[in-house]
């Protein structure tokens, strides 16, 4: 490990949970190289961008921020006399050397498969004052021996696989994250056990399509078995992201119903409610298959809440297709939905297609969808009014710092007052009971009941 002592670094993370985890790995590596983490650009000798390119606005944001770095003077007291810029994550993997041509202020570009090289690349960039580029293509399994620095003491991301084999026709992810590669089950379970021993109360298993976990190494998917095995480690709350409806099995539904620590919540991206658009997207399920899974889950896991991802304005989407999407949103009753306007990604099959709808039509659909999603989320939350919900306290509320906030089992944000005489910090990381008196679209609020511990 090179010696970067005396240097201060900042990590800026964009995109999905995969990048959040990768950033924890980056921090682990930088700490092992003796660098010190800071929170403000002005205090940093090295700014590391962990980038996302899933939609065009993700690109634009990152490019704007990289460019703005060159106008900032070096940190006062800096031993380097300059500020290094490193770009990793999905844009690093996609654009490689083109980034250095477009942004001469970049010092290091690395990809999604060689994060562990970062300290060495930084050391080289410092030693020879020349930009360093290192990318590799696929086929590098996770090496669990690398250190990570967790953002939270009591919640943890746990990657179970990388990559994606699905090639949904709009999506760049398989091109920047490579093919599916599962980690051996014993390794994941050992990590989960170590996290529990370290005081972690909630684990979220991560993969682009967790339901196909194990297919590449065991010949058939083993996700349900993995859930049961991780459930036995003593973890209190278990979640997972992301599920693909085509691979979600009855065995997994059964595990969700029987493994006590699995939370009654599922993020199940639908993308569209139209069978034609789903086929064009290469999603490989129909709306009725999707609704069949939802029904089974509602029956197996009482009170389960759902969230989803939806794309509006896919090139072949007509008004009639969009109305199918509105209908499915209405039918499921999502407690949360992430809505996106389709964004052309060079290199994907859909990027070659002309859109049958105008920008105005698409914007109008998007606005109508957001309204239905918000109404649905509001309605879905009303069932909890008057109920007592279990909340894992995450910290002070961002809206009102006289309140604490956390997550219910159904993943709702819940706000409540800190009891008198207790320091808010003492509450963080605890699981408490809150009686809900107000249920809004995006949060619940209420009062603590009983003793907080
Ligand atoms: N593996 C996950 C997450 C993929 S990216 C999954 O399959 O669901 C997260 C979301 O971004 C996707 O679910 C999709 O709704 C959205 N997305 C991906 N590519 C997009 C594009 N080109 N335009 C708009 N939204 C997109
Ligand atoms: Fe993209 Fe589809 Fe893979 Fe999800 S399953 S990452 S949307 S290609
Ligand atoms: Fe973005 Fe890469 Fe995740 S493109 S959504 S950070 S896998």
DSSP per-residue letters across 151-203: S-SSEEEEE-EE------TT--HHHHH-S-EEPPHHHHHHHHHHHHHTT--EE
137, with CB counted inside 10 A (0-12, 13-18, 19+), is exposed
Between helix 250-258 and helix 223-231 the angle, nearest 10°, is 10
Closest Cα to atom 1, ligand 3: which residue? Answer: 52
Integer Cα distance of 437 and 414 in angstroms:
11
Closest Cα to atom 2, ligand 1: which residue? Answer: 208
Closest Cα to atom 12, ligand 1: which residue? Answer: 309
Closest Cα to atom 1, ligand 1: which residue? Answer: 208
At 218-234, the pLDDT tens digits run 999 999 999 999 999 99
Domains in the chain with CATH codes: 8-134 (3.40.50.12160), 155-382 (3.80.30.20), 388-448 (2.40.50)
Task: Provide the pLDDT for residue 264.
Answer: 98
The C-alpha angle with vertex 303 and arms to 299 and 309, in degrees rounded to 5, equals 90
Integer Cα distance of 108 and 127 in angstroms:
13
Q: Cβ(286)–Cβ(275) under 8 Å?
A: yes
Distance (Å) from CA 173 to ligand 1 centroid: 8
Tell me which residues of the chain have a pLDDT lower than 70.
138-139, 452-453
Distance (Å) from CA 227 to ligand 1 centroid: 24
Task: Provide the pLDDT for residue 139.
Answer: 65
At 283-311, the pLDDT tens digits run 999 999 999 999 999 999 999 999 999 99
Order of strands across the sheet that contains 265-267: 265-267, 305-312, 336-341
Task: Provide the pLDDT for residue 147.
Answer: 84
Distance (Å) from CA 13 to ligand 3 centroid: 11
Closest Cα to atom 3, ligand 3: which residue? Answer: 16
Calculated CA dihedral for residues 216, 251, 336, 428, nearest 10 degrees:
-90
Place of tokens 């065995």: 251
Task: Provide the pLDDT for residue 453.
Answer: 55
Task: Provide the pLDDT for residue 137.
Answer: 82
For a substitution probing ligand 1, which of 56, 311, 312 has the most ligand atoms within 8 Å of its CB? 311
Closest Cα to atom 13, ligand 1: which residue? Answer: 309
| Spatial CB neighbours of 221, under 8 Å, sequence gap ≥ 6 | 211, 212, 213, 214, 215, 247, 249
Q: Cβ(287)–Cβ(328) under 8 Å?
A: yes
Task: Provide the pLDDT for residue 392.
Answer: 98
For a substitution probing ligand 3, which of 15, 166, 175, 269 has the most ligand atoms within 8 Å of its CB? 15
Distance (Å) from CA 91 to ligand 3 centroid: 9
Task: Provide the pLDDT for residue 15.
Answer: 96
> How long is the chain?
453
């Amino acid at each position: 490990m090179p010696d970067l002592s005396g240097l201060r670094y900042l990590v800026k993370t964009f995109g999905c949970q995969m990048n959040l985890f990768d950033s924890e790995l980056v921090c682990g590596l930088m700490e092992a190289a003796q660098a010190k983490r800071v929170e403000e650009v002005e205090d940093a000798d090295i700014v590391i961008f962990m980038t996302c390119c899933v939609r065009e606005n993700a690109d634009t944001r990152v490019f704007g921020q990289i460019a703005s770095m060159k106008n900032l003077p070096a940190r006062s007291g800096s031993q380097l006399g300059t500020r290094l810029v490193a770009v990793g994550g999905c844009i690093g993997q996609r654009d490689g050397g083109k980034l250095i041509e477009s942004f001469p202020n970049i010092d290091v570009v690395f990809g999604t498969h060689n994060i562990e090289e970062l300290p060495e690349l930084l050391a080289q960039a410092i030693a020879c004052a020349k930009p360093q580029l290192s990318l590799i293509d696929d086929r590098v399994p996770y090496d669990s021996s690398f250190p990570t620095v967790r953002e939270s003491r009591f919640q943890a991301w746990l990657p179970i696989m990388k990559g994606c084999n699905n090639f949904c026709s709009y999506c760049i992810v398989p091109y920047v994250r490579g093919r599916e590669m599962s980690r051996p089950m014993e390794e994941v379970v050992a990590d989960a056990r170590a996290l529990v021993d370290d005081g972690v109360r909630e684990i979220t298993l991560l993969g682009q399509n967790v339901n196909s976990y194990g297919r590449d190494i065991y010949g058939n998917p083993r996700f349900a078995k993995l859930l049961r095995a991780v459930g036995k480690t003593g973890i209190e709350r278990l979640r997972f992201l992301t599920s693909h409806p085509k691979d979600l099995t009855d065995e997994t539904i059964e595990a969700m119903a029987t493994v006590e620590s699995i939370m009654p919540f599922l993020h199940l991206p639908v993308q569209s409610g139209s069978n034609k658009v789903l086929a064009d997207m290469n999603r490989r399920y129909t709306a009725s298959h999707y609704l069949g899974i939802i029904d089974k889950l509602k029956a197996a896991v009482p009170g389960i809440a759902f969230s989803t991802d939806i794309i509006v304005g896919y090139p072949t989407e007509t008004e009639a297709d969009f109305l199918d999407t509105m209908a499915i949103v209405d039918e499921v009753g999502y407690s949360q939905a992430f809505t996106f306007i389709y964004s052309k990604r060079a290199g994907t099959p859909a990027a070659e297609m002309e859109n049958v709808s105008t920008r105005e039509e698409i914007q109008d659909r998007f606005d109508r969808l957001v309204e239905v999603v918000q109404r649905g989320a509001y309605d879905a939350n009303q069932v909890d009014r008057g109920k007592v919900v279990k909340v894992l306290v995450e910290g002070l509320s961002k809206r009102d710092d006289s309140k604490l906030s956390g997550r219910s089992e159904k993943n709702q944000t819940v706000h409540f007052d800190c009891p008198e005489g207790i320091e808010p910090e003492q509450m963080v990381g605890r699981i408490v009971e809150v009686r809900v008196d107000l249920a809004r679209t995006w949060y619940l609020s209420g009062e603590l009941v009983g003793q907080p511990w």
